[in-house]
Chains A and B, each alone.
Chain A
Amino acid sequence: MMRVLAIALVAALVLVGASLDTSAQSDAPPIKIGYAISRTGPFAPGAQATQEPSYILWAEQVNAAGGLNVKGQKRKIELVSYDDRSEVETIVRTFEKLMVTDKVDLILPPWGSTANFAVAPLADKHGYPVLAPTALSMKLVDMKLPNFFSMLPQPYVLMAAAADMLAANGVKTVAVIYMDDVFGLENIAAFEPAVKAKGIEIVDKKSYPLGIKDLSPVLRAIKDKNPDAFVGLTYPPDTILASKQSKEIGFNPKVFFTAVGTAFPLYKQVMGADSDGVSGIGSWSVKTSPAAKAYFDAHVKRFQKEPDRWASAHCWAGLQILQAAIEKVGMDRKAIREYIASNEHATIIGPVRFKGSEIQFPGTVGQWVGGDFEVVWPANRATAKLVVPKPAWK
């Protein structure tokens, strides 16, 4: 038994040795930025669609320009990245390694609410600021961690915008389905009071579990109630499933709204012309700003795939804020945190600032219009005109 433990100890020490392997030191040492993200496991599709490509693209762009300007010195970025296997324990352990063993200069957040719940307190404890582009939960915001910043507007903001849009277009009745997890439950909890305040009646409300393969029985029941609008607080596979099966049964309400994944390029690939007029959560398009267009083009060029029209740009905006902070105040993490918390930042999604952990950014609604995903609500953010009623499925 003792021998076993001795072996374990030696193996562990070898690991430390391997990880402490220092690369050649130049006069301007690179800025080490570490992260763990899902390359395998159930979180991987989301993480690879909206988050990690932006990290890589950002580092490459900065380095191509000679590096970041830190107190008059050009320093390149060195990304230290690991797979987190979509497992919370692995996520926690890897971020401990990054912050404590590797002593990276800064960290970038993992993908998804669950992972950020685990990392946010840990990063806060070690004094690393985090700008999370894919954490959507008021519970996380309510923990009031000084080093945690959410790049996405929270459910009550998103759902209020959706309710405004429905009411402004004469919707009187709505049917809603939502997923049995923190995303679905927090959004439905925000959605119900928001539509009630606008005098809209919820005629059907059904929840469903992760990994559902057939929604047609639910959709057929909803179709019989003939609501003006359908709202799905869904994830990418279910977003597409609900769309395909609504078409299958000929359910075509005035407004058809689905949540995550509607803004993915995948949606158009699999729905084709049927995507036209489908609304969903989305906050930007190439028409939002020239910078947004540049980001879009660079992303397509580097990865041969489009970024999604929601969180991808929020992720990029977070990186822009981090970059501005470093170039302004240097590598001191406390100063970076202060800078992020107390300034207004120019980003590709427009000017943003933070109140506590919350980003000050309006709720938006997007829609597939003429073959592209555009922002259609509120009017001052719109890049295209909202189409209501939704055209028939092809």
Chain B
Amino acid sequence: MRLWIELVVSGLITGGIYALVAMGLNLQYGLMRILNVSHGEFLMLGAYLTYWAYLVMHLSPFVFLPPLLVGLFVVGLVVHRLCFRRLAETTPEVEAFEARSLLVGFGLMFVVQNVALLVWGADLRGYQYLAGTVSIAGVGFTANRLVAFAAALVLGLGLIAVLRATLLGRAVRAMMQSPTGALLVGIDVRRLHPAVFGVGLALAGAAGALLSMVFEISPSMGEPYTVTALIVIALGGFGSVTGSLLGGLLLGVVEAIGMHLTSPSLKMVLSYGVFMLVLITRPNGLFVR
């Protein structure tokens, strides 16, 4: 029994981060149909800035988190202005827009990743923060993993609350359900889109900041997280932010238990197998009735 509790909690911790990575990406896709494959690069940027702030300015990652969120939000506004605004104006047709925004994402991936390489070099890096062990009901966990999980959960639930409770959030949700309908009731797309793109990047940066406490970082660290985010989004449903939160947590738990029951080597085969099966049979996600 204790083993199972350990597995589930461990899976939830990993899953919380998955969820946070996926939510930002899904928000962008759901609202604007931008499948931003450079999402992981902005995560990496968040991780490096946090590392740098810790090392050079001796700032705790949590003290640095608010300026990081604002910074990446602004980066998001700029990127949207430079790349996606023109694209949306010149490509009204959705499928073509999706394909071309995918390419812009690749371009951004090249640029951001290699700027990071030039600035910080290719070496793996890491630092020690809250590396002590905390015991919960006799089960040990590293403090930074627990704190990262808590922060991911707070940010994720916070986002959902904003989407549900505020006027702005309702506007976003309205747009996700019916773009034309939202236009008709007077929602200003030209302001909403850049803002939501910025929020997406800010969430990616936050995820990177949290991950940098737990794992080592390198300029190429982002890609695997983009892939994980895609899997989570598929599980939870494209365009459903709540689905992403649940999907991320579920994936974390399933992976931990799957790894225990089979072997880590088989885990990847199982993960992708389950992912494909879900997409083929339930393309709208697991949680849609």
Contacts and interface: CB of A to CB of B under 8 A. Distances in A.
8 contacts: A45-B123, A213-B14, A217-B260, A236-B124, A237-B124, A247-B142, A270-B127, A274-B131
B103 interface: no
Interface residues of A, number: 45
Contact of A248 (B3, B141, B219, B268): B141
Given A40-B113, A40-B220, A208-B264, 17 more contacts: A40-B117, A208-B265, A209-B268, A214-B255, A215-B264, A218-B259, A218-B260, A220-B6, A221-B260, A240-B126, A240-B216, A244-B131, A244-B142, A247-B142, A266-B125, A269-B126, A270-B127
Interface residues of B, number: 38
B216 A237 contact: yes
A324 interface: no
Chain A contact residues: over half helix, strand or loop, or mixed?
helix
Given A215-B264, A217-B7, A40 B114 contact: yes
Interface of A: 38-42, 44-45, 47-49, 180, 206-209, 211-218, 220-221, 224, 236-237, 240-241, 244-245, 247-250, 264, 266, 269-272, 274, 305, 393
B216 A266 contact: yes
A249 B122 CA distance: 31
A213 B259 contact: no
A215 B259 CA distance: 9
A49 B124 contact: yes
Interface-centre pick from A38, A216, A240 (highest chain B CB count, 10 A): A216
B117 A39 contact: yes
A60 B198 CA distance: 46
Contact of A209 (B124, B131, B141, B265): B265
Given A39-B122, A237-B124, A269-B128, A209 B264 contact: yes
B264 A44 contact: no
Contacts of A180: 265
B131 A272 contact: yes
Contact of B122 (A47, A218, A247): A47
Nearest to B10: A216
B122 A40 contact: yes
Contacts of B259: 214, 217-218
Q: Which 10 A-B pairs have the closest CB atoms?
A: A44-B122, A208-B264, A270-B126, A48-B122, A217-B260, A248-B142, A45-B124, A207-B265, A217-B259, A272-B128
B133 interface: yes
A134 to B, nearest CB: 15
A271 B133 CA distance: 13
Contact of B133 (A209, A221, A250): A250
Contacts of B256: 214, 216-217
A271 B122 CA distance: 20
Interface string B221-263: 0001000000000000000000000000000000111011001
B135 to A, nearest CB: 9
B181 interface: no
Contacts of B133: 247-248, 250, 393
B158 interface: no
A266 B125 CA distance: 7
Given A207-B264, A209-B265, A249-B140, A220 B124 contact: no
B100 interface: no
A264 B126 CA distance: 12
Contacts of A264: 124
A237 B211 CA distance: 13
A315 to B, nearest CB: 16
Contacts of B6: 216, 220, 249
B134 to A, nearest CB: 9
Contacts of A215: 264
B275 interface: no
Contacts of A274: 131
Given A49-B123, A266-B126, A236 B216 contact: yes
